[in-house]
Amino acid sequence: MTNVDSEVQTIPDATTPAAAQSGASDGSVRKALTLIAGPGLLLAVMVGLGQILETTDIFTLRLVVVYALFAIATNLLIGYGGLVSFGQAAFFGAGAYTVALGWLHWETSFWLTAALAPVIGGVLALVVGAICLRTRRLYFALLTLAFSQLFYVVANAGYEFTRGADGIFGAMVPEFLRGRDPLNGYTFILVVVSVAALLLWKVTASPFGLVLRATRENRERMQALGINVYAHQLTAFVISGCFCALAGALYVVAAGSATLDLLDWTQSGDAVYMVVIGGMYSFLGPALGALLYTFGLDYVTQSELGHWQLFLGLALLAVVLFRPDGLAGVLSPKNWRDRLRHRKSSHNGEETDR
């Protein structure tokens, strides 16, 4: 056998294990790049917006990033767990009030109360979830709403401690976060939210996240396989409560206040709107929804259009009827590739018929 023949025989074809391993490696690299591209592009856009927008718009952008974390944490229940909760505002408000009350009554350091907020949110979520998850579907949603309103009423009644409907305003965060340059606070919020979102993504990509999605699709089958569905859903509820409370603590940085509206069930409804508009089956979909919802609402309320509820209703109607996968589905490269592939196959089929 000549050297040429031996070299030809050593070149792997599509059926050899070496070629298969090489193809799998290329597929893994491509998949990794796809996973990084979306979050990296969104983060680059948010950084760029912070550099080019005016001061007033940066204040709005700070709220966008806070609401993005709030919506992503809420979507852990809705999109991944199939649990529609209208009670996440209770933990969002609890996080904000942890910072505000610590400053008001004990002059506690912001860093301590901000670190304590997710712990308090998790404990509250453990108690609320342990009760609410005994029910399912509509009853679960209504029970979480009831708990949110319970927190609202208690905070409103305890005026001496919470300042009730007046809310709490003041220098609750360090000077460099609330100074004249809003970019400092925005950068801090963006960094914290990016890290928190990464942790939440690790949760959804873990075996725990896979069990959560499987439970969403078929609860009875998972129970038949021996999975403790209640424990998994309660864990997801607690994790969501922790990150909702963290978003609440960051809200104090963005807005410089803590008010009763943060505890109201309508705040939970806003998060659900963001999830639906952005796309509940995409991890970053709720963040896109927060961006569109917050800036859209800000534009409509400041313009002469008025009746922002009408525009919100039309947007939700359009999403539900035409794009159930939300804004993330519209922007998804995979969906565009599938459309092009389908159009190409249809075109080839027509040529074959001719």
| Spatial contact of 186 and 193, defined as CB atoms under 8 Å apart | no
pLDDT at 282 over 80: yes
How much is the pLDDT for 29? Answer: 58
Q: Which residues constitute the domain of residue 246?
A: 45-340
Phi, psi torsion values for 221, nearest 5 degrees: -65, -40
Residue 16 belongs to some domain of the structure = no
Average pLDDT, the chain: 85
| Location of structure tokens 């942790």 | 199
- Does residue 223 lie within any of the structural domains? yes
Has residue 324 been placed in a domain? yes
pLDDT at 12: 42
- The answer as to whether 292 is a domain residue is yes
Whole-angstrom distance, CA of residue 228 vs CA of residue 156: 38
pTM for the structure as a whole: 0.86
- The predicted-structure confidence for 197-248, as pLDDT tens digits, reads as follows 999 999 999 999 999 999 999 999 999 999 999 999 999 999 999 999 999 9
Q: What is the CATH number of the domain that holds 166?
A: 1.10.3470
> Residue 126 — very low, low, confident or very high, per pLDDT cuts 50/70/90?
very high
Q: Report, as an integer, the average pLDDT of 139-161.
A: 94
Number of domains in the chain: 1
| Six-digit token string for 263 | 């505890």
Provide the 10 A C-beta neighbour count for residue 49.
15
Which percentage of the chain shows pLDDT scores above 70? Answer: 82
Coil vs helix vs strand at 257: strand
Tell me the C-alpha distance between 140 and 147, whole Å: 11
Q: What is the 3-state secondary structure (H, E, C) of 139-184?
A: HHHHHHHHHHHHHHHHHHHCHHHHCHHHCEECCCCCHHHHCCCHHH
Q: Looking at the domain assignment, is residue 230 inside a domain?
A: yes
Percentage, residues of the chain above pLDDT 90: 59
In a domain, 348, yes or no: no
Local structure of 354: helix, strand or coil: coil
Structural domain includes residue 95: yes
Q: 7-11, 25-29, 108-112, 284-288: lowest mean pLDDT where?
A: 7-11
